[in-house]
Amino acid sequence: MGLIEDRLGEAADTAFSQPIPKSIGARVRFLLKQEKGLSRAEAARAVAEKIGKSQRTVERYRDDQIKTAKPETAAVIEAEVKKLWQPLVKARKLQSAITSTGIKVDVRGKFGFKSPKGTTNDPRYRRLSRRLDADVARALYDAKQAGADEDELAQIVADGLRDDYFTDGGTRAQSLQQVALTDIDHIRFSLG
C-alpha cells in the first residue's frame, strides 16, 4: 500500500463520533462484546487468537488484573477496536464525504504547474490544508477501491487542489492546466 491509500483508509477508519475506550481492559471488553453468539470462554479464545495472546491473558485484561500491555500488544488491540468501533457512524461520515461535505486534506509535497505557455515555475515544496469537494472525495475512494496506484491518487489530489486552491474555483490563474504533486512527505485526510 502507498502513503495516500493508507491515509485514505485511516480517515475512514477513524471517523467516529466518540473516542475509542482508553484502557486496555475497556478495549478488551469491547472486543469480547463483538463476539456475539459465543460463550464467555469461546469469546475470550476468539479475541486471544486475534491479538496473539492466551485466553487467560485476555481474561486478565478483561478483569483489569493486567492494566498495561506491551506496546506491540497494545497497538494490536487498538487496531482491532478501531476496525469495529462505530461502524454505522464511520459509514455515514464516509457517505457524507463522497456526496456532500467533501474531504479535508493536509499535504506537504512538491507542486509543479503547467499552463499553455509551458511550466510556470519549477516544482517546489508547499504545505496546504484545504477541504476538497465531494466529487474529489468520491474520485479518491473510487480510485482506491479500483486499485489505483500512488501516482494516480496523487494526481486526483493535485487536480482537486488545482480547482480549489490554485485557481480558486476559476476566479484566478485561469490558464493553469495541470498541477503535479510529487515527493509527498506528509499527507492526512479527515472526513466530516
CA atoms of 128 and 146, how far apart (whole Å) = 27
Domain 19-85 has CATH 1.10.260: yes
Write out the three cell numbers for 115.
499552463
Residue type, 115: S
CA atoms of 186 and 114, how far apart (whole Å) = 23
Look at residues 68, 67, 34 and name the one whose alpha carbon lies nearest to residue 50. Answer: 34
- With residue 25 as reference, give the H or E element that holds it: helix 24-33
pLDDT at 119: 55
Write out the three cell numbers for 135.
466529487
Determine what percent of the chain falls in helix, strand and coil, rounding each to the nearest 5.
Answer: 55, 20, 25
> pLDDT of the chain along its 192 residues, tens only?
689 888 988 888 778 778 889 999 999 999 999 999 999 999 999 999 999 999 999 999 999 999 999 999 999 999 999 888 888 888 888 899 999 999 999 999 998 877 666 555 678 899 999 999 999 999 999 999 999 999 999 999 999 998 888 877 667 766 667 888 999 999 999 986
CA atoms of 47 and 154, how far apart (whole Å) = 37
How many Cβ atoms from other residues are within 10 Å of residue 69's Cβ? 19
pLDDT at 76: 95
Burial zone of 8 (CB within 10 Å; 0-12 exposed, 13-18 middle, 19+ buried):
buried
Contact 165, 128 (CB under 8 A): yes
Residue type, 47: V
Q: Who's near 171: CB < 8 A, 6+ residues apart? A: none
Where are the chain's structural domains?
A: 19-85, 94-191
Write out the three cell numbers for 116.
499553455
